[in-house]
Amino acid sequence: MIPAELKKGTAEVLILSLLEDRPRHGYELAKLIERRSEGVLEFHVASLYPMLYRLERRGWIEGRWVERAGQRRRRFYRLTPAGRKALPEQRRGWREFIRAIRRVAQVDHV
């Protein structure tokens, strides 16, 4: 079982990563997380949106309503410069964490 704190942290990195190359809207993000984690991270939409709002408040991402011809308007989120700057830091932290977990797990196995 993954502690809630970790889950939240994971998801934040995921979101920031997914927004790295282009802006996406909420539904798209939900689908992508579900697909890329191959269902392992059972990620509830119920936590996606609060997370988006928190990141937005933190100033890392920015949501904007975009209208496309023939479609309803969608709220697209993109990385802000602050978010772009924060992403590597976040990734590094996570990599270290995962490495640590792996080490501990191997010790356990041995």
| Contact string 76-95 vs another protein (x = CB under 8 A) | ----x-x-------------
Q: Which is nearer to another protein, 49 or 105 (CB)?
A: 49
Q: Which is nearer to another protein, 47 or 105 (CB)?
A: 47
Smallest separation, CB 107 to another protein (Å) = 36
Long-range contacts of range 46-49, CB-CB < 8 Å, 24 or more positions apart?
47/7, 47/8, 47/11, 48/11, 48/15
Rounded CA separation 80/60 (Å): 5
Cβ(56)–Cβ(105) under 8 Å?
A: no
Query: Which one of residues 72, 89, 108, 109 is an interface residue with another protein (CB under 8 A)?
Result: 72
| Contact string 18-57 vs another protein (x = CB under 8 A) | -------xxx--xx------------xxxxxxxx-xx--x
With both helix axes pointing from N to C terminus, report the angle between 81-109 and 4-21 in degrees, rounded to the nearest 10: 130
64 is a contact residue toward another protein (CB under 8 A): no
